[in-house]
Amino acid sequence: MICGIKGGLLFLNSSYANETVHKTENYRLSTKIISESLEYPWGLAFLPNGLALVTERPGRLNLISLDGSIKRVQGLPKIWVGGQGGLLDIAVDPNFSQNKTIYFTFSKPFQKGTHAGTALARATIENLTEPSLSNLDIIFSQNKPTISGYHFGSRIVISPENKIFITIGERGERNRAQDRFDHAGSVVRIHKDGSIPKDNPFANGVKGLPEIWSIGHRNPQGAAWNIKTSSIWTVSHGPKGGDEINQPKSGKNYGWPITSYGRHYSGGKVGRGHSAPGMELPLYHWDPSIAPSGATFYNGEAFPKWKDNLFIAALKSKLIVRMEIKDGKVTKEERLFKNSFGRIRDIQQGPKDYLYIITDESKGRLIVIKPHH
């Protein structure tokens, strides 16, 4: 039963607490708050049994059931928390039912805590009643850590071939993104044990670090695997304008800070402008910026009209962007939930093939998006 209308949204009665209905081009959607007691949640992933793993940037990992109950997961490593750094993304091993393995990125402290760099850890979590990490192993650490609190990245994508991609920002020191011997501003590709795939572009270490897959990225805070193109897609923050979507390919250079569709915050031109020899153009860009974060390609049955669409969470614009893709190119954009939930940090497909989002706030929320019938 509907009890009120505000700002174009339908608010339902108390039997549907915290539930609202939203209109989109293809569907009427129902959204419901699962939890609203998270402190700056950053990453979201689901276990096979439907429980959600949610990171909080200040350095906490939570196991959340869809009724909203939360258990704190113990056993995290030491985490450098400051600026944009902290506990970041989370991913569940495709074979979790057998190996109980998860992966997470975080800003790892170096030099007695004065410096930090993006790192990837692997651990097992077996007892979900009293959850705690065991067999913790840091399988990747960014080289050249700095005192900067900016641009850690960082998303984790596990390919169907069981390679792990990690996105890393250029730490606010833009020229580092052009150095193939510096992890800053790169996409890294490793095996699940941290070893280097032999088909990486610089696997022999002569022309670049063996684990680097691509360079020239500013701050890629979104990444997802596109089944149609069999490739990773990344979504990166531009400077003033110039947020962009890329399909990072082996050994390629994505331009920053030599090329960008944005401008410096001072208003000055970035490098050589939009393009330069040897630099890849983005698949898509936004100007003005939307401040993109987490991303996912939808491949479920709950929203059949959205099959293979790319969904991107936006911080500054406080919305979700739905993008239709054809032949590897973006053909249409629809903006959803503008100003409905605040800054949206991540979006993922989860139980029942519904979509789930987390909001970037001191009282951050986990919200489910499902068809409204």
- Nearest-angstrom CA–CA distance, 245 and 220: 9
pLDDT tens figures, 335-356: 999 999 999 999 999 999 999 9
Which CATH number applies to 36-371? Answer: 2.120.10.30
* pLDDT greater than 60 at residue 160: yes
- pLDDT at position 268 is 87
Contact 247, 296 (CB under 8 A): no
- pLDDT at position 17 is 53
- pLDDT at position 257 is 97
pLDDT tens figures, 231-274: 999 999 999 999 999 999 999 999 999 999 999 888 888 889 89
Domain boundaries, the chain: 36-371
- Nearest-angstrom CA–CA distance, 335 and 317: 10
pLDDT tens figures, 48-99: 999 999 999 999 999 999 999 999 999 999 999 999 999 999 999 999 999 9
- Nearest-angstrom CA–CA distance, 45 and 351: 11
* pLDDT greater than 70 at residue 297: yes
191 has catalytic annotation? no
Strand partners, 334: 322
Closest by Cα among 242, 245, 247, 236 to 259: 242
pLDDT tens figures, 1-52: 334 444 344 443 333 457 899 999 999 999 999 999 999 999 999 999 999 9
* pLDDT greater than 50 at residue 167: yes
Catalytic site residue from 151, 183, 237, 285: 151
Q: How would residue 276 be classed by pLDDT, with cut points 50, 70 and 90? A: very high
Residues 6+ apart with CB under 8 A from 49: 128
- pLDDT at position 269 is 87
- Give the C-alpha distances (Å, rounded to integers) separating 67 from 11, 89, 194, 367: 20, 23, 36, 11
Q: What burial letters (b/e) apply to 325-338, b meaning 16+ CB within 10 Å? A: beeeebeeeeebbe
- Give the C-alpha distances (Å, rounded to integers) separating 324 from 1, 156, 335: 33, 23, 12
Model pTM?
Answer: 0.94
Q: Can the peptide bond before residue 257 be classed as cis, meaning omega within 30 degrees of 0? A: yes
Query: What percent of the chain clears pLDDT 70, i.e. is strictly above it?
Result: 95
Mean pLDDT of 288-313: 98
Mean pLDDT of 119-131: 96
- Indicate the DSSP class of residue 94: T
Q: Strand 133-141 relative to strand 115-125: parallel, antiparallel, unpaired? A: antiparallel
9 against 227, higher pLDDT: 227
- pLDDT at position 267 is 86
Mean pLDDT of 300-313: 98
- pLDDT at position 123 is 98
